[in-house]
Amino acid sequence: MVNAWAGADSQGFPAQYAVRALDEKQHKLDTMIKKKDIKRLLGELPLTAEVYWQLRQGGRPLSKSFSMRRTAKRLPDWVAQANRALQENSPAAGKGVLLFTTLRYWIEHATLMSVALAGQGHQVTLAYLPYANWHAPINRFDLRRNNAYARSILLPAERLLNTVSFIDNRAPDKALPSSIKAAIEQVSVRDVQYTQQIEEVDQNSELYLMRMKRNRQAAQTALRWMRQNRPDVLITPNGSILEMGAVYQVAGYLDIPIVTYEFGEQRDRIWIAQDAEVMRQDTDDLWRAYQNIPLSENQLEQIRALFASRQRADLWENFSRRWQGIPSQGGAKVRQELGLDDRPVALLAANVIGDSLTLGRQVFTDDMTEWLKRTIFEFAQRSDEQLVVRIHPGERYTQGPSVADVVESVLPALPDHIHLVPANAPMNTYDLVEIADLGLVYTTTVGMEMAMSGVPVIVVGRTHYRAKGFTLDPASWEVYENMSDSVLSAPEQHRLTREQVDLAWNYAYRFFFDYPSPFPWHLLNFWHELDTWSVKRVLSKEGQDVYGDTFRYLVGEPRHWSSAHQQQSIVEKTVAGSLT
């Protein structure tokens, strides 16, 4: 009898079965390749994707990641409410507004914003690119199916506003003006940095090449469209990355006024920047208006309560983020846990590598990583001082390289006077602030909070609170190192004065409470917030009393910072309205 297992492979299976399995895998692979080739071909033929989507998908989304079912359900009602507001209020003719965005969640939110702006009398064009995500490639056949689906969802808004797909209006692939091309390359670098949480980018990588292709196509289409249909103002989220960043650069090239917006950790608030990237958080005009106006007792109480909640690792009022894992336990306990002695202590509070608030913020360094490496190397030579490196707790939620990797690349074994506090360490950053003689920061808000505690802080990156009167702001490596030496050689002589501390508290209040504008619909919560602030209510006199200025800023009307009393009144009305 013939042994059926003769010729079995190393795993104990007959060779014939192994061959069959390989054949099946090859068949599946060949099928996938054929499907890709077919999709690539069909993606360039007119109407094929659209007919397929209609007949085979029955008008459904291609995937859950690009499902706009909630918009489909609520858009007709939004439009009806906006049309009623137009009839009742008879607003004067507004501005020609182009609101551009991409990605499903931004498109849905921008649709709501566009309806509200149109309900105030503006001639709004909502332009979009129907991508489900920014970091994975999509063939043109599937992209056109997304496009057909998005177009069908937005159809009920067409009598109120103009909807434009940049897929339907795609411009030919031709050379861009050199200044736009250079800007698009920089946007694409930031895209990779942001996606992979890195600072050094391989411009031959698949991700960079894909981002460059998409951004270039968006820029070419935007350039042609805005030349033919010049708007009074472009509104786009963020403005620093992705296709939004590409279109931002085109509008700047054409001298079209630009408004960018983003959402922070506060509900009921929006960040707005005019002719600037909002993530730059330019507070210069605000500070010029407020720096000589003392805080009222009520304002002081608000910022004290917020600061205390951050120390306790609590949520406070409309703030939705809790970075600290545990409440404050006191500086003495932390000093004991780390084994610190009486030598001066420098606290280096790191950002997350590749965080959007660090990209492009260098003053005299190549990037944050270079600053980390050089600082750690310098302190390794100075055993008369102690350095505590606090890794940002936000690293717990990222996939990129850790600050710990950077430290290890410089010092595989830490000397006794350098201490690393991991992101997940059961240690509150504010306890470290309590024992610090000097703060070293790139752009993290912890630097501002150290100054609020009287700790001298050296700010290396271009952050919003740099050069506001309460930080040390070097412009070269030499000055940076001299400042560090000077402070740590005589810590008590360099503690902040009472006036500087007061200035830091004043600025912190302005940044947290005055810089963000009241807004009814936060990107992360707007489906729930619509239950409180419907389109009808926002467009009513009540809603415009609270949010009217913000909508005017969004269409580019100059922002004149009001008096502290007026601004506080707006905040109070917003909170009251949200609770009604």
Tens digit of pLDDT per residue, the chain (580 long)?
334 333 444 444 455 555 455 455 555 545 554 555 555 555 466 668 888 888 777 788 888 899 999 999 999 999 999 999 999 998 888 999 999 999 999 999 999 999 999 999 999 999 999 999 999 999 998 999 999 999 999 999 999 999 999 999 999 999 999 999 999 999 999 999 999 989 999 999 999 999 999 999 999 999 999 999 999 999 999 999 999 999 999 999 999 999 999 998 889 999 999 999 999 999 999 999 999 999 999 999 999 988 887 776 543 344 334 344 445 567 788 899 999 999 999 999 999 998 888 989 999 999 999 999 999 999 999 999 999 999 998 888 777 789 999 999 999 999 999 999 998 888 888 889 999 999 999 999 999 999 999 999 999 999 999 999 999 999 999 999 999 999 999 999 999 999 999 999 999 999 999 999 999 999 999 999 999 999 999 999 999 999 999 999 999 999 988 644 454 555 455 544 443 3
Identity of the amino acid at 365: T
Q: According to the model, what pLDDT value does residue 379 have?
A: 97
Q: According to the model, what pLDDT value does residue 428 have?
A: 85
Reference 546, options 572, 526, 511; nearest CA is 572
The number of CA neighbours under 13 Å toward the Cβ of 364 is: 12
How do beta strands 418-421 and 386-390 pair?
parallel
pTM (predicted TM-score): 0.86
Q: Are 580 and 524 in contact (CB under 8 A)?
A: no
Q: According to the model, what pLDDT value does residue 34 have?
A: 55
Burial per residue of 520-544, b for 16 or more beta-carbon CB atoms within 10 angstroms, e otherwise: bbbbeebeebbeebbbbbbbeeebb
Q: According to the model, what pLDDT value does residue 328 have?
A: 57
- Helix orientation angle between 48-56 and 15-42, rounded to the nearest 10 degrees: 120
Q: Return the sign of the alpha-carbon dihedral for residues 444, 445, 448, 450.
A: negative
Q: According to the model, what pLDDT value does residue 59 have?
A: 80
Euclidean distance between CA atoms 63 and 55, whole angstroms: 16
Both tokens assigned to 436: 């610090």
